[in-house]
Amino acid sequence: MVLLLAGCNTLPDSGPTEYKINHAQRDPKRNSVGYNIVKVSPELIGLLESQEPPLFSSLDADNAPVSVPRNDTIGPGDVLQVSIYEVGSALFSPNNGGMSAGGNMSMASNLPPLSVDGSGNVEIPFGGQMHVTGMTTNQLADAITARLKQKSQSPQVLVRILSDITNSVIVYGGVRRPSRIPLTPNREHILDVIALAGGEDRTVQSDEDYIVRLTRKDKIAELPLKTIENDPAQNIVMQPGDRVQVVYEPRTFSVFGATERVTQTQFTTPTLTLAEAISRSGGPLDSRADPNAVYLFRFENADVLKRLGLSVDNGATTGPVIYQLDMMNPSNYFLAERFMMRDQDIIYVANATSNKFYKFFGLISTLIAPGITAAWMAK
């Protein structure tokens, strides 16, 4: 029996207790990754909420119409069609004409497609080189007309864009038809251009796990597709040069320790809170768990760690941190409802210290039960 009691300290655990986790943090040999433990508090929740990735609406300049760039101007790479109508003696094409309303012969000529060079210039016959970047088609038509007035009789010019590179967005990734989508004065929104690219490819995957990543100049934001569909404020107006990537990213979290089951679970929803994640695993087991010691393991953003007063390795963009939730405090359940889960988070529910006693008691019962049974049968 003495040997059995001595062996109590060597009984296997399904994971560390609260004491072991806290003790290991202070031991450089056991804490090789340099993690820190931070208790979940209202201040922490406020800090994490302020660090959430930017919404699409934040890229839309507060949705002010005057701030949205025009998408009907000409720029480098565009291909233009210039049509010139002349009355009387034609400068361009005397063989292609018709009678004008005043009885004079009206001549129409379509110039060969004109490509705007990298400097934003085009060469107009009898008009010379013109800088067209930033002009609308009507403005360019007026400018060409002004140059031809001294050389042609009553010229009228029409300009249209055959290939619009400047006023377009790129949609790629998990869509049926990755392509360049031209923008129009109708001002297409992000869901519009995704639809024009064929929509997300749902042949295999669930649309719950699609992420839309928007690159606008030097800013990048990403949101679940479902969030954009459910929040009109995030369905922002596209701007020339935007890049929209649709990505299938099944987000998961893992649960270990004294819970009903060890599991890896997909989010299946656009957002997921810590409270919801714990409930999906069945919650802490009454017989084994220490409700004071529910932990979330995460590689946190370096900016967040610095604002928490924690050290970060030079050049590191993330660092290991363990958030501790005391579920014996009722107010922490409200905090858990505001604590947003991220992809690859790990939840660990520590074993209660008394768990070893129950394991030891079970071992003793296993050893003496056969003897008790034999004695009872001998009677």
Q: Return left, alpha or beta for 315; rule: phi > 0 is left, psi -120 to 50 is alpha, else beta.
A: left
The answer to the question of residue 86 being in a domain is yes
Shared domain check, 324 and 290 = yes
Host domain of residue 314: 7-39+252-359
pTM of the full structure: 0.68
- The reported pLDDT for the residue numbered 205 is 62
The answer to the question of residue 259 being in a domain is yes
Shared domain check, 193 and 61 = yes
- The reported pLDDT for the residue numbered 364 is 46
The answer to the question of residue 21 being in a domain is yes
Q: Looking at 248, 271, 290, which one is the last position of a domain? A: 248
- Regions of the chain with pLDDT less than 50: 1-13, 62-63, 66, 96-103, 356-365, 367, 372, 374, 376
Least Cα distance to 277 among 290, 287, 264 occurs for: 264
The answer to the question of residue 377 being in a domain is no
Shared domain check, 290 and 173 = no
First to last CA, the chain: 26
Shared domain check, 238 and 257 = no
- The reported pLDDT for the residue numbered 61 is 56
Shared domain check, 100 and 173 = no
Q: Looking at 121, 139, 163, which one is the last position of a domain? A: 163
Question: What CATH number has the domain bearing residue 180?
Answer: 3.10.560.10
**172 residue type, one letter:** Y
- The reported pLDDT for the residue numbered 68 is 64
- The reported pLDDT for the residue numbered 93 is 62
**17 residue type, one letter:** T
Q: Looking at 248, 272, 296, which one is the last position of a domain? A: 248
Total tally of structural domains belonging to the chain: 3
Long-range contacts of 64-70 (CB under 8 A, 24+ apart): 68/187, 68/237, 68/239, 69/239, 69/240, 70/136
Whether residue 141 contacts residue 74, with contact meaning beta carbons closer than 8 Å, is answered with no
Shared domain check, 264 and 119 = no
d(CA 170, CA 180): 5
d(CA 205, CA 88): 65
Task: Give the side-chain half-sphere CA count within 13 A for 58.
Answer: 11
